[in-house]
Chain A
Amino acid sequence: MIRPLFVFEVTPRCNLACTYCYNVWKKNGEPSPRELPLNEIGNLADSIQAAHPISVTLTGGEPLLRDDLCSIVRLFQKRGILVGIATNGMLLDRNTAGSLKEAGAGWFEVSVTSVSEERYSDLTGTDGFAAVKQAMLAVVSSGARLTVSHIITSRNYGDSGWVIDLAYAFSADAVALNRFVPGGTGLANRHLLPTLLQLDSGLKSASERSLMSPGMTVYAALPVEDCLLQHSDYTGISFGSCICGAGKWAISPAGDLRVCEQSPHILGNLLESSFEELYRSPFVEEFRSNNRSPDCMSCSSAGVCGGGCRFLR
C-alpha cells in the first residue's frame, strides 16, 4: 500500500459561493454532512494515525470558519502527522496564520482564482481579491510555506501567467494548477469547462512565467492527458498522474472516507472502521481501473498521465 495523503474536509460551511466548487454536498438537493466536534476529531486522528499517513490537509468548505481550527491542527501535530491547511484566504490574517503555524500547520494552500477583482468576484461571489493577497503575504510572514492553487476555467484562463507572477512575488514555494472538473456546484456550471485551446493558452502562459521564476515549483495537480496537450510544450510545468484512491483520499466532515474530493461515494466511516479495512473495498479497485480508454493501453505516456481525471470521463 502507498502511504496515504488525506484531505480532511473539517467543515461543510463556506464563506464563498464559488461557481466551480466541487464539494459533493453542494450538488442540488444533497444534505450537508454533519461536522465532527473536536473530541470526535481526536478519535478520527487516532484512526488516521494508524494508517501512517504522509500528511493531512485540512480543508472544507472553508476550514477557517471553525473556531477550533488551531486545536484540530494540534490533534494531528501531537500524533506526529504533518498538517497543512487549504483555504480561500478570506479569514487568514497575520495573527491567525501565526497561531496556526505555532499550532503545527506547516504549509498553507491559498486559492487564487483570478488576478482581476471583477473575475474573482464573478467566480467566487465575493469581492475578495485584496483579502487573498493579504492571506498570501500573511502565510509567508508567519514563516509557513505557501502553495498557491489556481483553477483554470473558461472565464479566467488568461489569468494563469499572472497568478504565477503574483505567487512568485509573494514568495510562494509552489503553484498547483487545477483544470476545472465539474462536481458539486460546478455540475450546474459546465460552461466553465475550458476548451482545449483555452487550457493550452492558460498552461502556456503559466509555463512561460514559471520558467522565469527560479526556485518555485509549478505543477499540474489535476492530470492533463499527453494526447490532448503535449506535456513537452509546457516545460515550466511538472505534470503528474491521478493518485486518488491509491495515494490520496478524502475524508468528509463526518469522517467518511472517499476516494477523491469529487467522489460522493462513501467507502465507510473512519470512526467505525480502520483505513485498512476501507481501502480494500471493491469500489476502490473499480474506481482505479476505470480510468483508461482502450487507446490508453497502447500509449507510451499512459504511465505519466494515468489516463486523466476520472471525473472528466
Chain B
Amino acid sequence: MKNKGRFKNGLVPSGLGIMVAAGLLPVNAARALDRENTQTGTVNDMDPDAAISRSIFTRTSVLWSNPQWQEFKRLWRKLDSIGPADGDYSASRLDYEQIDKIRIELDNSQAELMLISDEIGIDSLDIRLLHRLATDRLTLLSYGSVIPLTRMMPPPVSDQTDFLVPQIEARIDTVAFLREEGLISSGEMVTAFRNLRSLVDTYFLLETINYGTRYTDALWSIEWPLDADRILPYLDSTRIAILDDMRDLGEENGEQYAGLLEEFENMEQSITQVRERLPALHDLLLDLELF
C-alpha cells in the first residue's frame, strides 16, 4: 500500500502554504513574508509552534534559492521516492549503476555544501550528519538491512544505527503514503514529520558515537540506550563505572586510564555539540521533506 509515488502532482503545497495549513504560521504573516521576503512576522513568542515556524523560516529561507542546497534536497527526495519492494526494505529496487550514481552525487553534494557552509549558515556538522543519514538510507534501499560482520571490525554502534534507519525510512514513507491517501491533512503531516525527531535525534547521537569511538578502548563494546535523552547520562554512568574499576585496580596513573579519560571527555563534548545542533537539524529535515 505504501510508497506509490509520493509527493507527485503537487501533493505538497508551497512552504508557506503548508505552514499556514499546519497552523504554524498565521495567514497574514505568511502573506507578508511571501510578499516582502523578509524575516519579519506576527508570530506569538508564547506559542511553541509559532516559535518553531519562525525558526524554520529564518533558517531555511536562505536555502530556498541556494542551488547547492537544492541539489542536496533533490537527492533526499530521490531517496524518498524509492520505496521498498512489496514492503521489504531488504529487496533492492536499484541496480548497481543507480546506487553508485546517487552515492557519488551525494558525496559531491556534501563537498559543495561544505565549501559554502558559512555563506548559507549551516554548520559543517549538520552537513556531515545529514549526508550520513542520506547515505545510510541509500544503503538500506540498495541492500536492505545488512549486518556489517566481516573480518574487519564494524563501526562500534553500527548495529544500533542500522536498527534505526529502517524505522526512519518506513515512518517517512508511511506519513507520505497516508497524506497521499487523504487520511491525514497537511498540518497533521507536518506534525508527524516533526514528531520523528526523537528517532532522528537518537540516530544523530549514535552516529556521533560511531564517528568518535576508538576501536581499542572500552567504549567500543557498549550497547547504548535508544533514547536521545538517555545517551549523555549513560555515558556519564559508564565513565564512572569504568574509571572507578580502574582506580580500584590501581591503574589510575597508567597510560590507558589517561587515554580513556580523554576519550570520555571528547565523546561528551561531541555529543553535547550535536545536541546543541538538534534544533537546527530538525528545521533542515523539515525543509528537506516539506518545502
- Chain A interface residues (CB < 8 Å from chain B): 94, 115, 133-134, 137, 140-141, 143, 161-162, 165-166, 168-171, 208-209, 211-215
Question: What are 19 A-B contacts with C-beta separation under 8 Å?
Answer: A137-B191, A137-B192, A141-B191, A162-B183, A166-B183, A168-B171, A168-B174, A169-B171, A169-B175, A169-B184, A170-B192, A171-B171, A171-B195, A171-B199, A208-B87, A212-B2, A212-B87, A214-B166, A215-B170
- Chain B interface residues (CB < 8 Å from chain A): 1-2, 48, 84, 87, 163-164, 166-167, 170-171, 174-175, 177-178, 183-184, 188, 191-192, 194-196, 198-199
With A and B bound together, what is the CA distance between A171 and B199 in angstroms? 9
Which listed residue (A115, A141, A165, A166) contacts B195, Cβ 8 A? A141
Contact of A165 with B191 in the complex, beta carbons under 8 Å? no
Contact of B170 with A170 in the complex, beta carbons under 8 Å? no
Contact of B170 with A214 in the complex, beta carbons under 8 Å? yes
Contact of A215 with B175 in the complex, beta carbons under 8 Å? no
Residues of chain A with a CB closer than 8 A to B175's CB: 169
Contact of A166 with B178 in the complex, beta carbons under 8 Å? yes
Contact of A165 with B174 in the complex, beta carbons under 8 Å? yes
Residues of chain A with a CB closer than 8 A to B178's CB: 165-166, 169
Which listed residue (A161, A171, A212) contacts B196, Cβ 8 A? A171
With A and B bound together, what is the CA distance between A170 and B164 in angstroms? 16
Contact of B191 with A212 in the complex, beta carbons under 8 Å? no
Q: Which of A137, A141, A166, A212 counts the most B-chain CB atoms under 10 A from its CB?
A: A212
Residues of chain B with a CB closer than 8 A to A162's CB: 183
With A and B bound together, what is the CA distance between A133 and B190 in angstroms? 13
Residues of chain A with a CB closer than 8 A to B194's CB: 141
Contact of B170 with A212 in the complex, beta carbons under 8 Å? yes
Residues of chain B with a CB closer than 8 A to A166's CB: 178, 183-184
Contact of A214 with B87 in the complex, beta carbons under 8 Å? no
Residues of chain A with a CB closer than 8 A to B177's CB: 165, 169
Residues of chain A with a CB closer than 8 A to B184's CB: 133, 166, 169
Residues of chain A with a CB closer than 8 A to B188's CB: 133-134, 137
User: Which A-B residue pairs are the 6 nearest by beta carbons?
Assistant: A215-B167, A212-B87, A140-B195, A169-B174, A169-B175, A137-B191
Residues of chain B with a CB closer than 8 A to A94's CB: 48
Residues of chain B with a CB closer than 8 A to A215's CB: 163-164, 166-167, 170, 199
With A and B bound together, what is the CA distance between A171 and B198 in angstroms? 9
Residues of chain B with a CB closer than 8 A to A213's CB: 170, 174
Residues of chain A with a CB closer than 8 A to B87's CB: 208, 211-212
Residues of chain B with a CB closer than 8 A to A211's CB: 87
Residue of B nearest to A129 (CB): B183
Residues of chain B with a CB closer than 8 A to A141's CB: 191, 194-195
